Amino acid sequence: MKHLIWIAALLLALSACSKEEQPESVADEAAAIEAPAPDATAQEAVEAAEEAAPETLEVVEESASEEEPKDEPILLAMADSEDAPVREWKYKEGQHYDRIVPTQQTVGSPDKVEVAEIFEYSCPHCFDMDPHISRWTETMDPGVRFVRIPAIFNNLDAIHAQAFYTGEVLARNGVLADLDALHVAIFTEFHNRRNRLTSESAIQKLFQRFGVSQADFDKTWKSFEVNQKMRIAQDLVRRYGISKVPTVVVNGKYRTSASQTGSYEGLFEAIDELTAREGIR
């Protein structure tokens, strides 16, 4: 009788250890052999317990070896891993650029990282920056897409935005040969020639200089497509939190400007860093 009590105590101790260290399936297996059959001798029960203990240890070792590969990818992905290069970013969030939360949509598809300039034709700083941004677009990475979005803060901005999108649609349809030249001409008319382009007729005369007929201009100027583009521009400017121009938005996620980076050179360096953060497509 004393032998049987001692054996039961030993088996209970083995069963408790396996619950802490083993999966439930192993604990159930140990519980199944924790008591000998009613007609077994004390010696047979001891032998059964001794055979069960090594089996328990083997299962624990196999379980540990199965878990090791799960940790391996995490170690490889850590920034301070010896195999993972750590890039030092020159431009800092909250100082040189702001994060747009939540990330907003872009004009184009997500196949490329989009850099959008939000501008006004009436803005002297936009006029000054335009040659710099044009040079930057000549050397930008092929995985980057550059777009312009006219800001619409007042009635004059609205008519200028309508001129911008009229030119864009005419160029896409093959009616306007050089959209970039028209873009520069609108800036030049406003800032150098003091032609404020405040009316449809004044803008039509400018288009006529670029070979656009009165009929093609009128049809496009009043089109649903131009009107839709203006509505999208207004919505994006609001979503991006634009309060001043010129401002650059990278992939609907980052907002920056020359005033934040300290110079035009700093602005384009910051843009290149932010496109790198997004990962060139």
User: Given this model, what pLDDT does residue 85 score?
Assistant: 61
User: Given this model, what pLDDT does residue 14 score?
Assistant: 39
Share of the chain above pLDDT 90, in %: 67
Q: Is 60 exceeded by the pLDDT of residue 212?
A: yes
Domain count, the chain: 2
Q: Is 70 exceeded by the pLDDT of residue 162?
A: yes
End residue of a domain, out of 27, 47, 77 = 77
Q: Is 90 exceeded by the pLDDT of residue 189?
A: yes
Greater confidence, 241 or 33? 241
Q: Which amino acid is located at 129 in the chain?
A: M
Greater confidence, 20 or 244? 244
User: What is the rounded average pLDDT for all residues in the chain?
Assistant: 80
Same domain for 197 and 231, yes or no, is yes
- Summarize pLDDT for 89-105 with one digit per residue, the tens: 999 999 999 999 999 99
End residue of a domain, out of 44, 77, 110 = 77
Greater confidence, 57 or 81? 81
Same domain for 124 and 220, yes or no, is yes
Q: Which phi and psi angles does 125 have, rounded to 5°?
A: -70, -35
Same domain for 133 and 202, yes or no, is yes
Q: Domain span at residue 135?
A: 97-278
Report whether 53 contacts 15 (CB < 8 A): no
Same domain for 231 and 141, yes or no, is yes
Paired sense of beta strands 144-150 and 97-99, if any: unpaired
Residue 231 belongs to a domain: yes
pLDDT, average across residues 173-183: 98
End residue of a domain, out of 42, 77, 112 = 77
Same domain for 113 and 32, yes or no, is no
Greater confidence, 10 or 156? 156
Same domain for 15 and 125, yes or no, is no
Greater confidence, 204 or 36? 204
Please list, in sequence order, all residues whose beta carbon lies within 8 angstroms of the beta carbon of residue 223, skipping any fewer than 6 positions away.
169
Residue 87 belongs to a domain: no
Instruction: Please tell me the least confidently modeled range out of 39-48, 124-133, 154-163.
Output: 39-48
Residue 37 belongs to a domain: yes
Residue 90 belongs to a domain: no
Residue 91 belongs to a domain: no
Same domain for 165 and 71, yes or no, is no
User: Given this model, what pLDDT does residue 50 score?
Assistant: 47
Same domain for 55 and 112, yes or no, is no
Residue 89 belongs to a domain: no
Report whether 4 contacts 42 (CB < 8 A): yes
Greater confidence, 56 or 48? 48
Residue 83 — very low, low, confident or very high, per pLDDT cuts 50/70/90? Answer: low
pTM listed for this prediction: 0.70
User: Given this model, what pLDDT does residue 281 score?
Assistant: 62
Same domain for 66 and 116, yes or no, is no
Residue 87 — very low, low, confident or very high, per pLDDT cuts 50/70/90? Answer: confident
Greater confidence, 60 or 136? 136
Same domain for 37 and 175, yes or no, is no
Distance CA 108, CA 119 (A): 18
Residue 85 belongs to a domain: no
Residue 84 belongs to a domain: no
- Summarize pLDDT for 108-134 with one digit per residue, the tens: 999 999 999 999 999 999 999 999 999
Please list, in sequence order, all residues whose beta carbon lies within 8 angstroms of the beta carbon of residue 235, skipping any fewer than 6 positions away.
none
pLDDT, average across residues 230-252: 98
Same domain for 67 and 111, yes or no, is no
User: Given this model, what pLDDT does residue 201 score?
Assistant: 98
pLDDT, average across residues 44-54: 45
Same domain for 20 and 146, yes or no, is no
Q: Is 90 exceeded by the pLDDT of residue 30?
A: no
Q: Which amino acid is located at 35 in the chain?
A: A
The size of the chain, in residues, is: 281
